Chain A
Amino acid sequence: MITAAAQEREHYLNASYGLKSWLLTKDHKRIGLLYLFTITLFFFIGGAFATLIRIELLTPQGNLVSSETYNKLFTMHAVAMIFFFLIPSIPAVLGNFFLPIMIGARDLAFPKLNLLSWYLLVIGGAFSLFAMIAGGVDTGWTFYTPYSTTYSNSWVIATALGIFIAGFSSILTGLNFIVTVHRMRAPGMTWFRMPLFVWANYATSLIQVLGTPVLAVTIVLLFVERVFHLGIFDPARGGDPVLFQHLFWFYSHPAVYIMVLPSMGVVSEIISTFSRKAIFGYRIVAFSSVAIAVLGFLVWGHHLFVSGQSLYAGMVFSFLSYFVAIPSAIKVFNWTATLYRGSISLQTPMLYAFGFIGLFTIGGLTGLFLAALGMDIHVTDTYFVVAHFHYIMVGGALMGYLGGMHFWWPKITGRMYPEGWAKLSALVIFLGFNLTFFPQFILGYLGMPRRYHLYPEEFQVLNVLSTAGASVLAVGYAIPMIYFIWSLRYGKVAPANPWGATGLEWKTSSPPPVHNFDETPVVTRGAYDYASLMAEEVEVG
């Protein structure tokens, strides 16, 4: 099955062995895999909480868990999924692995810092995990004061500290990426020859670097208020809890784009590869990533429409929120235009990319509903909001992540995954996702509030549908776990470029050598030059 030559070739996986060679590695590829293990663990932890939530919501009565426990379940589901899965997911796993290779570098600019980032995520994760095991936290992932500073009896500090530490992991990864993109590009790799995945990760890094510190200081202020009774947000002393919300959402709204922008980058790679065409309007798509990163900082107040913010500010933030639709729509239109008259092959990554486009569009358009001040007052804190952000974060970010995992699995492991099973699971995930979350739009519109485990009986049918969808979704996630592991041993050996793609990562062997390339590549073409690639093939043929 494996030729002797292939076995002997040294690559990043067999260059050294033993736990130490992994835990002290400075290789961005190995660090990417360390992240993969870590975030997969948190994905299943977050998934377990989601399962309990959906089971509880099968019936209108709160008969599985108490109200207090339910508060903890949705809080810990969000903490695990947002801070320890979605935010690190694509940048820290796929970005870490591929960003340097895609610009022709031997590693990130600061490999030791990169390893430190992973340790910070693990330490932060350990704090949060400790809080979960010790008794949980019940404030909601938003930690709104004064509940979080004064009244909650749960493990607020341990969780917040975990998020604070994980935040530094995120900051340092962003810093590393920015410096790498500026300083480490191979000869000829100009800004407008960079793959859109690199552009997307660059834009994401800007958000991580500019936004995360504000979350960090907000957590510090929460900490000193809870522990030392410095009353920064204490209404009893004339402080304003709404100020906490401003600072929190200054980071946490852009954080949504930390989750979804890298997925957009993955989708650009996949759409181009599987329609064998350059991305339509490459430069506009590249700029739209940066535009989303920038505009994302101007809209946070739409989370505060009903929280006591001034009506004037509400109108300003509502107005500004619409602008995010422009670069988002540009991406969707340009992907669609790329498909036009393309030579399309419906392999698994392409299915995920299509899933992303459809679900992200629904999530984005319902976002416009929520940005409208009047409409938002009707659906604030209902399941409409829950459905909306799950369409963005699961339908968007997670679909992109899975698409990217399939797209690059052959490069990472040197093995192909089984195409038939993969297509099946992509379909199951798509159906399960819609069955889970589409009914929640209706529930929210009808007025079912989020964060309660009791609900009127007339909502039961839709909740049962949603729970049924969640079961399908769970099966859909289990299948790739199984066949990815299976493929490590039994998968077909992957060639260097199984998809016939143009990126630099496909020019090196699968899996790549320790320093990525046998010699530093010299770039002479744009990222998606399928036209000349096919012209060459004709000549050779």
Chain B
Amino acid sequence: MSDPQEHTHIDSVGTYVKILLALLVATGVTTAVSRLDLGAFNTVVALSIASAKMLLVALFFMHIRHSNKLTKLVVVGGLLWLAILLLLTMTDFATRGIIGVPGK
């Protein structure tokens, strides 16, 4: 059948070096920003930068860029289930006491 070579995309060393540099810079930026007072946006910025770093690692180092649809579906599914876990748990913890319990 088909030669596995055919399906393999080999990225250049330059691409990987660029990604590494971007990751290192992002780490520096997120550390520096943590000293500023951005109010609620400290959390937003920190998690946005972390998500961007995750995307770089996943797309380039983990080759999701070149992966088939099934692999992408698996990854998205995993993140979706994580979201279910976090959101439905918070449905409880973020709403404690907003509706009074009769007799209490």
Contact of A310 among B77, B85, B99 (CB under 8 A): B99
Known: A182-B70, A310-B97, A312-B99. A246 touches B92 (CB 8 A): yes
A214 to B93 Cα, complex, angstroms: 18
Does A313 have its Cβ within 8 Å of any Cβ on chain B? yes
Does A291 have its Cβ within 8 Å of any Cβ on chain B? no
Does A85 have its Cβ within 8 Å of any Cβ on chain B? no
A240 to B92 Cα, complex, angstroms: 12
A304 to B93 Cα, complex, angstroms: 13
Does B98 have its Cβ within 8 Å of any Cβ on chain A? yes
Contacts of B96 in A (CB 8 A): 310
Does B43 have its Cβ within 8 Å of any Cβ on chain A? no
A397 to B81 Cα, complex, angstroms: 26
A315 to B99 Cα, complex, angstroms: 10
Contact of A313 among B85, B91, B100 (CB under 8 A): B91
Nearest chain B CB to A376 CB, angstrom units: 14
Does A223 have its Cβ within 8 Å of any Cβ on chain B? no
Contacts of A298 in B (CB 8 A): 84, 88
By beta carbon, the residue of chain A nearest B84 is A297
9 contacting pairs across A/B (C-beta < 8 A): A243-B93, A301-B91, A301-B92, A309-B92, A310-B92, A312-B95, A312-B99, A315-B99, A316-B91
Are B85 and A312 in contact, with the CB atoms below 8 A? no
Interface residues of B in 74-93 (CB under 8 A from A): 77-78, 81, 84-85, 88-89, 91-93
A60 to B31 Cα, complex, angstroms: 66
Does A210 have its Cβ within 8 Å of any Cβ on chain B? yes
Contacts of B100 in A (CB 8 A): 311
Nearest chain B CB to A208 CB, angstrom units: 13
Interface residues of A in 298-323 (CB under 8 A from B): 298, 300-301, 304, 309-313, 315-317
By beta carbon, the residue of chain A nearest B101 is A311
Contacts of A214 in B (CB 8 A): 85
Binary contact track A483-501/B, C-beta < 8 Å → 1, others 0: 0000000000000000000
Binary contact track B56-78/A, C-beta < 8 Å → 1, others 0: 00000000000000100000011
Known: A210-B81, A298-B84, A311-B101. A246 touches B89 (CB 8 A): yes
Nearest chain A CB to B83 CB, angstrom units: 11
By beta carbon, the residue of chain A nearest B102 is A311
By beta carbon, the residue of chain B nearest A211 is B81
Are A250 and B99 in contact, with the CB atoms below 8 A? no
Does A242 have its Cβ within 8 Å of any Cβ on chain B? yes
A-B pairs, top 5 by smallest CB distance, nearest first, are A313-B92, A312-B95, A311-B99, A310-B95, A310-B96
Contacts of A301 in B (CB 8 A): 88, 91-92
Binary contact track A208-235/B, C-beta < 8 Å → 1, others 0: 0010001000000000000000000000
Contacts of A182 in B (CB 8 A): 70
Are B97 and A300 in contact, with the CB atoms below 8 A? no
Contacts of B89 in A (CB 8 A): 243, 246-247, 250
Nearest chain B CB to A292 CB, angstrom units: 15
Are A300 and B88 in contact, with the CB atoms below 8 A? yes
A247 to B86 Cα, complex, angstroms: 10
A242 to B99 Cα, complex, angstroms: 18
Contacts of A240 in B (CB 8 A): 93
By beta carbon, the residue of chain B nearest A307 is B92
Contacts of A312 in B (CB 8 A): 91, 95, 98-99
Interface residues of A in 221-279 (CB under 8 A from B): 240, 242-243, 246-247, 250
A109 to B49 Cα, complex, angstroms: 38
Contacts of B92 in A (CB 8 A): 242, 246, 301, 304, 309-310, 313
Nearest chain B CB to A402 CB, angstrom units: 33
Contacts of A242 in B (CB 8 A): 92
A242 to B84 Cα, complex, angstroms: 18
Contact of B85 among A250, A304, A317 (CB under 8 A): A250
Contacts of B85 in A (CB 8 A): 214, 250
- Greatest chain A CB density within 10 A among B84, B91, B92 is at B92
Known: A309-B92, A313-B92. A297 touches B99 (CB 8 A): no
A300 to B84 Cα, complex, angstroms: 11
By beta carbon, the residue of chain A nearest B85 is A250
Contacts of A316 in B (CB 8 A): 88, 91
Nearest chain B CB to A246 CB, angstrom units: 5
Are A313 and B95 in contact, with the CB atoms below 8 A? yes
Nearest chain B CB to A99 CB, angstrom units: 19
A315 to B98 Cα, complex, angstroms: 12
- Greatest chain B CB density within 10 A among A182, A242, A246 is at A246
Contacts of B77 in A (CB 8 A): 210
Contacts of B81 in A (CB 8 A): 210, 297
Nearest chain B CB to A304 CB, angstrom units: 8
